[in-house]
Amino acid sequence: MKNVKLSILALIALTGLNSCNNDDDATIVNPEEVITTLTATFEPVAGGETVVLTSRDLDGDGPEAPIISVLGNFTTGASYSGTVSFLNETETPAENVSEEILTEGDEHQIFFQQDDLGTFTYTDADVNQRPIGLTFSFVASTTPQTGLLTITLRHEPNKAAAGVADGDITNAGGESEAMATFEVSVVAP
């Protein structure tokens, strides 16, 4: 009899305690950390056509691939002052992630991987006087070219490793937070 009583008690405890959890609908989460949009803007120093490269992935980590757009061509031999910006457009208004990257500049670096398109030079620095890559200068090749430009944002790279400060990604390590490849052209004026 005691057992029966005990089981009944236990069952009452069970249902009682659990019932408070029964209608807990999930709360919608808008990921705060996601980067949806990478934009690289190349402003010609001597004036002319601005080149804008954009990778936009509005479902973040979702299945849809980012939409890549290349606006404009580089001019042979021209100098550009460049910026890279990152946005989280799943939020309204869009969150500017670049500011956070700048604040934590020592934990981030942007790399430009290409061949013969021209020369990239970092124009910004973190607290340790190592480049971040949010701003840079680019001098286009003197001969017309077509090629791929891959822009990668690394989180916690080893910024002291050989070649990293010069923009070589080989020894950087760390974790890629954004990466986009653009097909670009350098054309004669």
Partner 1 sequence: MKFYYTLLLFLAVSWCTQAQHTLSGTVQSAANTPLDGAHIHVAQWHGTSLPDGYYEIHNITKGTQRVVISYIGYKTLDTIINFNRDVTLNAILQPNTTQLEEVVLVDTTVSQHTARKQRLSAEIIEQYSNATLGDALKEIAGVYTLKTGTTIVKPVINGLHSSRVPVISNNVRLEDQQWGMEHAPNLDINSAGSISVIKGANALQYGGDAIGGLVLIEPKKVRTDTLIGKTIVTGNSNGRGGGVTTSLHKGNTKGWVWNVNGTLKYMGDRETPDYILSNTGNREANAAGSIQYLGDTYDLGASYSFYNATIGIATATHIGNNVDLVRAINNGTPSVIKPFTYTINAPKQEVQHHLAKLEYNQTLQNNASLNAEYAFQLNRRKEFDLRRGNLKATPALDLTLITHSAQANWKQQKNNTTLKAGLSTLLQSNEASPDTGIRPLIPNYNKIDAGAYAIASHRFTNSFSAEAGIRYDFSYVDASKFYQKTRWNSLGYNGVFDNFITADFGTQWLTAPEFTYHNVSASLGVRKQLSSVLDIMGNAGLAMRNPNPSELFSDGLHHANGTIELGNLGLEKERALKLSATVLKRGDVFTFEATPYLNSINNFIYLQPTAAEVTIRGSFPVYSYRQTNALLAGIDATTQWKPTQRIQHTLNFAYVYGENTTDGVPVIDMPPLNITNTLRYTVPQWHSLFLELRSEAVFSQTRYPDYNFFVAVPQDGELISTLADVSTPPEGYHLFHFGSGVQFNLGKMQTAVNLSVHNIFNTSYRDYLNRQRLYTDEAGRNIQLQVKFNY
- Give how far Cα 148 sits from Cα of 9, 33, 77, 115, Å: 70, 28, 18, 8
Is residue 167 involved in binding partner 1 (CB under 8 A)?
Answer: no
Query: Which of these, 135, 134, 14, 140, lies nearest to 79 by C-alpha position?
Result: 140
Is residue 150 involved in binding partner 1 (CB under 8 A)?
Answer: yes
Tokens representing residue 147 in the block? 């090629």
Provide CB contacts within 8 A for 145, sequence distance 6+: 116, 117, 185, 186
Q: How far is the CB of 6 from partner 1 (least distance, A)?
A: 5
Q: How far is the CB of 134 from partner 1 (least distance, A)?
A: 14
Is residue 84 involved in binding partner 1 (CB under 8 A)?
Answer: no
Stretch that binds partner 1, among 53-61, 73-81, 125-133, 134-142 (CB under 8 A): 53-61
Is residue 57 involved in binding partner 1 (CB under 8 A)?
Answer: yes
User: For partner 1, which is the closer residue by CB, 183 or 188?
Assistant: 183
Taking CB under 8 A as the criterion, the residue among 43, 104, 106, 124 binding partner 1 is 104
Q: Which amino acid is at 48?
A: G
| 39, 56, 125, 155: CA torsion to nearest 10 | -170
Q: Which amino acid is at 8?
A: I
The answer to whether the CB of 136 falls within 8 A of the CB of 167 is: no
> Which residues contact partner 1 by CB under 8 A?
2-3, 6-7, 10-11, 13-15, 17-18, 21-22, 24-29, 31-33, 35-38, 55-66, 90, 97, 100-101, 103-104, 107, 113-117, 147-150, 152, 154-156, 158, 173-181
